[in-house]
A and B are shown apart, each in its own frame.
Chain A
């Protein structure tokens, strides 16, 4: 579904991604883990069009059997409509807008109003707390609620591929637990997930496959179970448990 080939990206003058290859199959949960500054966020920003790659290809299949399109030539505001939604680092909710407005912005490009209403109901069933906060400004929500809003908003665009950047950041362990259960639920409904996480334990538990990034390159990749058992990964990212 998503195929990244030899991706090179500069962030300003810094050479961040030095040839990344990565693919995501439809229906999967794929995790991208690695230390701070390895370039995980940059990968997502390049896919969603916020950064222009210097070199390389990002191919995406907009429907199950369609020919892939090249995303690297499209601006960010065009990419959402092809079925990719990027839930950015730090959640990126609009703090001064209401919860309702935030959700509806997720469906900004959609025109199928009745279906939008149904999706909104479905999403508020998934995150019931949002319904009680509809008229409030999003800045008043707690961190966990903001994360739910960010994910709910992303779902409003009906993505085929949902990319999440550090959804667990700054949340209490209990909240993270429920959040990850919800992510699994979303995946079962047919949304493919690409997840960037610092919390490698949780990420490897949730995902089918994972990539380990080191200074702009993919250092390791494989099934999440294998990686979780890998000594080098355990020492570096899983707190060195034996």
Chain B
């Protein structure tokens, strides 16, 4: 096992980690603002992937425009879900929202099977995205590089929104104390809506990447990224945006390195390894790497 091979695995881990991180951010933000474990979040990845597939049928549309449209589509789906399923339950116990999110997830998956059939579909990006690039011992496709670069850019944009804008301050204030946020004049429903929109837009674009990376999509594909984003969020500290970014990259790296560096017979245990990470994490550092000591609001 030479250093070039290890480097290649690290690059692969970063690519996978980018997608986990993008999904984990929204998951974590939504938990942070309304303490909702949103299991429907992963299904927005699937919707994003199919939206991309649909838009790619229109030959004339430049790829950049497709990506923007997929971001918008994710945001819209997130807002519809929040308005339809979660806002009516505002103030209900945490477990009610959790169950509602499972229901939404099952509904989206089954609607997907109903209208799109369970048959996996090929998903191929334009040829120039598939070109291989060789950098010393490391090789990757254009699409892989695009995944990492886009992820980093989106993260920077997100941090700018959350920490530099009036909307971001309103979102953070709402996450900390809804009553006082209202006393300041913040429309908390709008702040929560914005959180769903932003988080879901990132999940949607992760769907585009997921399709580009694995070349095949089906209506149930959101399940795995959803669960892994959950784990990534727990690793980073649920509710923390930077934690979700870190957790996503770490989980992607760990998963790829586990498969790549251990003897091939262990490769099948990939997901078992990932979930063991979750258990170990919950035992040793229940607040995650960047999480705060757990505080339950009164």
Cross-interface CB contact of B183 among A76, A96, A104, cutoff 8 Å: A76
Residues of B close to A93: CB separation below 8 A = 180
Residues of A close to B184: CB separation below 8 A = 77, 80, 105-106, 108, 153, 157
Task: Looking at the assembled complex, report how far the CB atom of A149 sits from the nearest CB atom of chain B, in whole angstroms.
Answer: 12
Looking across the interface, which residue of chain B has its beta carbon closest to that of A91? B180
State whether the Cβ of A160 lies closer than 8 Å to any Cβ in chain B.
no
Interface segment, one of B16-24, B185-193, B282-290: B185-193
State whether the Cβ of B177 lies closer than 8 Å to any Cβ in chain A.
yes
State whether the Cβ of B179 lies closer than 8 Å to any Cβ in chain A.
yes
Q: How far is the CA of A78 from the CA of B184 in the complex (A)?
A: 9
Residues of A close to B179: CB separation below 8 A = 50, 76, 88, 92
A94 in contact with B172 (CB, 8 Å): yes
Q: How far is the CA of A88 from the CA of B183 in the complex (A)?
A: 9
Residues of A close to B176: CB separation below 8 A = 94-97
State whether the Cβ of B170 lies closer than 8 Å to any Cβ in chain A.
yes
State whether the Cβ of A85 lies closer than 8 Å to any Cβ in chain B.
yes
Task: Looking at the assembled complex, report how far the CB atom of A121 sits from the nearest CB atom of chain B, in whole angstroms.
Answer: 20
Task: Looking at the assembled complex, report how far the CB atom of B95 sits from the nearest CB atom of chain A, in whole angstroms.
Answer: 19
A49 in contact with B169 (CB, 8 Å): no
Contact A50/B177 with A77-B188, A104-B169 known, Cβ cut-off 8 Å? no
Chain B residues touching A, majority SS: helix
Looking across the interface, which residue of chain A has its beta carbon closest to that of B169? A101
Question: A50-107: which residues lie under 8 A (CB-CB) from chain B?
Answer: 50, 75-78, 80-81, 85-86, 88, 92-97, 101, 104-106
Q: How many residues on A have C-beta within 8 angstroms of the other chain's C-beta atoms?
A: 26
Looking across the interface, which residue of chain A has its beta carbon closest to that of B189? A77
Task: Looking at the assembled complex, report how far the CB atom of B59 sits from the nearest CB atom of chain A, in whole angstroms.
Answer: 46
Question: A101-117: which residues lie under 8 A (CB-CB) from chain B?
Answer: 101, 104-106, 108-109
Q: How far is the CA of A93 from the CA of B179 in the complex (A)?
A: 11
State whether the Cβ of B90 lies closer than 8 Å to any Cβ in chain A.
no
Q: How far is the CA of A8 from the CA of B12 in the complex (A)?
A: 64
Q: How far is the CA of A85 from the CA of B182 in the complex (A)?
A: 11
Q: How far is the CA of A209 from the CA of B241 in the complex (A)?
A: 49
Q: How far is the CA of A77 from the CA of B169 in the complex (A)?
A: 15
Looking across the interface, which residue of chain A has its beta carbon closest to that of B175? A96
Task: Looking at the assembled complex, report how far the CB atom of B219 sits from the nearest CB atom of chain A, in whole angstroms.
Answer: 39
Task: Looking at the assembled complex, report how far the CB atom of A104 sits from the nearest CB atom of chain B, in whole angstroms.
Answer: 7
A109 in contact with B185 (CB, 8 Å): yes
Residues of B close to A105: CB separation below 8 A = 169-170, 173, 184, 186
Q: How far is the CA of A76 from the CA of B180 in the complex (A)?
A: 9
B182 in contact with A77 (CB, 8 Å): yes
Q: How far is the CA of A94 from the CA of B184 in the complex (A)?
A: 11
Residues of A close to B173: CB separation below 8 A = 94, 97, 105
Contact A92/B183 with A104-B169, A105-B173 known, Cβ cut-off 8 Å? yes
Contact string against A for B residues 189-224, beta-carbon threshold 8 Å, 1 for contact and 0 otherwise: 000000000000000000000000000000000000
A92 in contact with B187 (CB, 8 Å): no
State whether the Cβ of A48 lies closer than 8 Å to any Cβ in chain B.
yes
A-B contact pairs, 12 of them (CB 8 A): A50-B179, A76-B179, A76-B183, A77-B186, A77-B187, A78-B185, A88-B180, A94-B172, A94-B177, A96-B176, A101-B172, A109-B185
Which B residues contact A (CB, under 8 angstroms)?
166, 169-170, 172-173, 176-177, 179-180, 182-188, 292
Given A48-B183, A105-B173, A157-B185; 16 other pairs, CB 8 A cutoff:
A76-B183, A77-B182, A77-B186, A77-B187, A80-B185, A85-B183, A92-B180, A97-B169, A97-B172, A97-B173, A97-B176, A101-B172, A105-B170, A105-B186, A108-B185, A157-B184
Pick the 9 closest A-B CB pairs, nearest first: A92-B180, A76-B182, A109-B185, A80-B185, A105-B184, A108-B185, A77-B182, A94-B176, A108-B184
Which A residues contact B (CB, under 8 angstroms)?
48-50, 75-78, 80-81, 85-86, 88, 92-97, 101, 104-106, 108-109, 153, 157
